[in-house]
Structure 1
Amino acid sequence: MLLIGNGRLVTRDNTNPFIENGAVFIENDLIKKVGTTKELKEAYPEAEYIDAKGGVIMPGFINAHEHIYSAMARGLSIKGYDPNGFLDILDGMWWTIDRNLTLEQVKQSAIATYIDSIKNGVTTVFDHHASYGAITDSLFTIEEAAKQTGIKSCLCYEVSDRDGEEKMKQAVKENEAFIKHALKDDSDMIAGMMGLHASFTLSDKTLEYCAEHKPDEVGYHIHVAEGIEDLYDSLHKHGKRIIDRLMDMNILGEKTLAAHCIYVNKHEMDVLKETDTMVVHNPESNMGNACGCPPTMEIFHHGIVTGLGTDGYTHDMTESYKVANVLHKHHLCDANAAWGEVPAMLFEGNAKIANRYFKRPVGIIKEGAAADVIISDYIPLTPMTKDNINSHILFGMQGRSIVTTVANGKVLMKDRKLTQIDEEEAMAKVREEALKLWTKINNR
């Protein structure tokens, strides 16, 4: 039994959104009671007590699009890498990394990402993995890291034709094996999807092969129209826009996650809405790769389930929140843009996305929800109410404001100290494998 109290409680439950001096009672992996600190301390005097010290108690963050395999790219300089456009960035940096990864480096990349996620209050991750140097068992290897660190994870492998038919088929079978494994798992901590890279690296034959090997219970996780080159390729090769191609290939649907969607038009938004396909916005990555600003405000107002991700650029969801907020104001030349839409993506859209893959409600603090709770040390200097919570988070918090992270009822970090893993020992292993990877890449 665990009781978290003495904080400003942000529940994301519309029936009871904010409690000034709130508390959460947790039993095993579920939230059992929400109320004031006084009443819950009186009701559960034997529970282990964590004092929020006047900070903010809220649901753990959800990252709807992550790339664990990119963890060891930080600071990497590759000989001869001088990209001229998005395709050069993919091939020169990201595909170079994934082609050289070993299974041990995949695991250490996952450990590093999950540690950073815990420190930033992220308790659920949707990852899109690639390691064409080590395909078989790569998702199971990431699962080992997820269990070791305690992060809820929905995993997939990035199927692509870029390295030939044999590796494409290995990738599909890795997805298939992991999905079947995850469907049998009753912990509600792991899920699987059929991962696809992007339209321009996937033939119709490959997409048909994926469909043959995808269990009906899950959907696809795919990059859509991230670069203009992806759209041009679809028009040139298939005579149709990307969303229409994916519709014709039966890729879209309520369990499918379409990342980016920068170069989509109104007709394609209508199709996304009609098929109830989910979309994830990744603002920093789109800006950093100079891919363009997606019509995210329009996508959102189409009624499409829209979430927020990091694309591996960061593991701090508040950072993506801040950047998305200013990106769309700047792009639309409208200071009133994104005030409501972006927080809805982070706090409502991400929860809807996760709740299509995990059984217990996530992204909310209420009775019966998954016990994913975080504490921020942010103590507002102005009044905090149910009406201005998002503004306080936007302007007052950062990921590293999080001091305590609880996931699935387990305390993963308390007072900024990890509890389930020896951070110093773990990061020493990460650094050792990162050096091996860098040496291998630059001695090709």
Structure 2
Amino acid sequence: MAGTLIKGGYLMTQEGIKKDWGIRIEGNRIVEAAPNDLLMKRVPENCKVLDASDRLVSPGFVNGHMHMYGVLSHGITVEALVTEFSSFLEDFWWPYVEDRMDHELVEKTTRWACVEMIKSGITTFMDVLEGPNSIPGALEVEAKVVHQAGLRGILTFEACERMNKENGQLGLKENADLVRKYHQSESLVQGMMSIHTLFTADREYVVQAKELAQELGCDIHMHLSESVYEPNWTLSKYGKRPVDIYEELGYMGPNVVASQGVQLEPHEIDIIAKRGAKLVHMPLSNCEVGGGVAPVPDCLAKGIKVGLGTDGYVNSFFEVMRGAFLIHKAYRQDPQVMPAKDVYRMATSLGAEVLGYQDLGKLEPGCLADMITIKMDTPTPINEHNVYDQLVLFRNPSDVVDVMVNGNLVMENGKLLTLDEEQAKAEIRESADQFWKGNK
């Protein structure tokens, strides 16, 4: 195969940056990471050379928790007065947004969300579609658009019983059908089992979902203690905290991806660590819903794998990284917690591991060719000592120049190659205008 050779100004490796290094790609894999002069000496005939000598070559970012349909709510104004987390769900999110999703809205929100993610340097994501009236078939609508965008996506439907038990079963089937269709295939789209929370599903349903995931050989996801509401609810109903209930049900394990994990007690963190379950941290959306500040430093210290997610809220991954870097320092009054290097790992290699990928988030031979290039025209120099701070604190989506997924460029020199940005923006704006009128 001719492949692609990328000459970098800097190459971001697991050890740090290497000046004047690049990578060579054949098919969808990286086959070499070496100094540019060595790569150029043995460049294969007809190999495409991408000159990124004025840029930093980095692994693509991994968005561990996304609600693509959430873009529809950006800026929305409603009469509902949100006072705390349960109010956010019951008075706003469920009636005004989630319950009104249909296939057309799923398609258009997916397309615009993919535009936002590509431009932000996100190459892999896990999406949780919430929309009980959009099934069956909603995940296939998402899958079609994600394939067109050329992104690597794990697509799930948030199955629960808050509408009724029949809809709950339909949600489990929606996930199972997609898992079966793409499992063990080379498709960029994969499935995962997903449920909502303990307060929207009974214990038998939770066990059923877990057993179905085991039968399918896939991971399972849930929202966990996003605020004090779920712990208070389970303590009132069951006399136990959420993680204790999941542990009692035999649910916790290495194939569990728990999102949020904001209100966790130390013994719950110990259970998660002991069972090898994984977490995804959403620092910005946790602030927006008043959920609190997740004990991420404690989780990392216990060896728990923690990724980062946008939650479909602020979809700039640079903003999310900044949030993870800054919020914990303020909350703990300790400038040493959550160093930029740890945050960057959560956004790349560690985040990939959370989603079950061992060959993503690293620019090494044998790894999948998912990478981005980032401008280095910072007013202060980038070097081996400050590169993580420069990336996390002082770069933005406008600094992302090229985006490659699975060996294929989906953005080159700042121009999207797989999606029409202006058309996607126009159609989502029109849909949002009509959608918002329904709130009057």
TM over 0.5: yes
| Residue 369 of structure 1: aligned partner | 367
| Residue 236 of structure 2: aligned partner | 236
What one-letter code is carried by the residue in structure 2 that aligns with 1:304? I
Distance across 2 between alignment mates of 1:211 and 1:329: 36
| Residue 435 of structure 2: aligned partner | 437
Residues 210 and 220 in structure 2, CA contact (< 8 A), matched pair in contact too: no
Q: 127-136 or 377-386: which moved more?
A: 377-386
Residues 29 and 366 in structure 2, CA contact (< 8 A), matched pair in contact too: yes
| Residue 10 of structure 1: aligned partner | 12
| Residue 171 of structure 2: aligned partner | 171
| Residue 134 of structure 1: aligned partner | 134
What one-letter code is carried by the residue in structure 2 that aligns with 1:23? G
Percent identical pairs in the alignment equals 26
Q: 43-52 or 1-10: which moved more?
A: 43-52
| Residue 414 of structure 1: aligned partner | 412
Q: Deviations over 1:31-62 (max 9, x none)?
A: 12111222212211532122224111111000
Structure 1 SS opposite 2:190: strand
| Residue 200 of structure 2: aligned partner | 201
**Pair 1:41–1:92, CA change in 2 (3 A):** farther
What one-letter code is carried by the residue in structure 1 that aligns with 2:232? Y
In structure 1, runs of 5+ residues without a counterpart are none
Distance across 1 between alignment mates of 2:39 and 2:5: 8
Q: 83-92 or 282-291: which moved more?
A: 83-92
| Residue 86 of structure 1: aligned partner | 85
| Residue 350 of structure 2: aligned partner | 349
Deviation of the 1:438 alpha carbon: 2.2
Q: Deviations over 1:345-383 (max 9, x none)?
A: 2234202113x2x4x611010111111110111234545
Distance across 1 between alignment mates of 2:133 and 2:266: 39
What one-letter code is carried by the residue in structure 2 that aligns with 1:346? A
What one-letter code is carried by the residue in structure 2 that aligns with 1:112? W
| Residue 52 of structure 1: aligned partner | 52
Q: Deviations over 1:381-404 (max 9, x none)?
A: 545444432122123211321011
Structure 2 SS opposite 1:232: helix
| Residue 400 of structure 2: aligned partner | 402
Q: Deviations over 1:98-140 (max 9, x none)?
A: 1111111101111111111100110000111111221111111
Q: Does residue 279 of structure 1 match 2:279?
A: yes
Distance across 1 between alignment mates of 2:61 and 2:390: 16
Distance across 2 between alignment mates of 1:127 and 1:436: 24
Q: 307-316 or 232-241: which moved more?
A: 307-316
Deviation of the 1:277 alpha carbon: 0.2
Deviation of the 1:158 alpha carbon: 0.6
Deviation of the 1:427 alpha carbon: 2.6
Distance across 2 between alignment mates of 1:93 and 1:185: 39
What one-letter code is carried by the residue in structure 1 that aligns with 2:376? Y
Distance across 1 between alignment mates of 2:12 and 2:343: 17
**Pair 1:101–1:393, CA change in 2 (3 A):** same
Q: Deviations over 1:236-290 (max 9, x none)?
A: 1111110011112222111111111111111111110111000111100111111
What one-letter code is carried by the residue in structure 2 that aligns with 1:10? M
Distance across 2 between alignment mates of 1:106 and 1:145: 10
Q: Deviations over 1:213-242 (max 9, x none)?
A: 333411221111111010011111111110
Residues 5 and 23 in structure 1, CA contact (< 8 A), matched pair in contact too: yes
Residues 373 and 406 in structure 1, CA contact (< 8 A), matched pair in contact too: yes
| Residue 25 of structure 1: aligned partner | 24
| Residue 223 of structure 1: aligned partner | 223
Structure 2 SS opposite 1:197: coil
Residues 10 and 53 in structure 2, CA contact (< 8 A), matched pair in contact too: no
| Residue 247 of structure 1: aligned partner | 247
Residues 375 and 404 in structure 1, CA contact (< 8 A), matched pair in contact too: yes
| Residue 293 of structure 1: aligned partner | 293
Distance across 1 between alignment mates of 2:255 and 2:327: 28
Structure 2 SS opposite 1:237: helix
Structure 1 SS opposite 2:9: strand
Deviation of the 1:184 alpha carbon: 4.4
Q: Say what the alpha-carbon RMSD is for the aligned residues.
A: 1.7
What one-letter code is carried by the residue in structure 2 that aligns with 1:121? G
Residues 56 and 379 in structure 1, CA contact (< 8 A), matched pair in contact too: no
Residues 207 and 251 in structure 2, CA contact (< 8 A), matched pair in contact too: no
Q: TM-score, normalised by structure 1?
A: 0.93
Distance across 1 between alignment mates of 2:242 and 2:382: 44
Q: 271-280 or 207-216: which moved more?
A: 207-216
What one-letter code is carried by the residue in structure 2 that aligns with 1:27? E
Residues 309 and 320 in structure 2, CA contact (< 8 A), matched pair in contact too: yes
Residues 308 and 349 in structure 1, CA contact (< 8 A), matched pair in contact too: no
Distance across 2 between alignment mates of 1:431 and 1:380: 34
What one-letter code is carried by the residue in structure 2 that aligns with 1:11? T
Residues 173 and 213 in structure 1, CA contact (< 8 A), matched pair in contact too: no
Distance across 2 between alignment mates of 1:231 and 1:421: 42
Distance across 2 between alignment mates of 1:424 and 1:294: 37
Distance across 1 between alignment mates of 2:219 and 2:294: 23
Distance across 2 between alignment mates of 1:300 and 1:161: 33
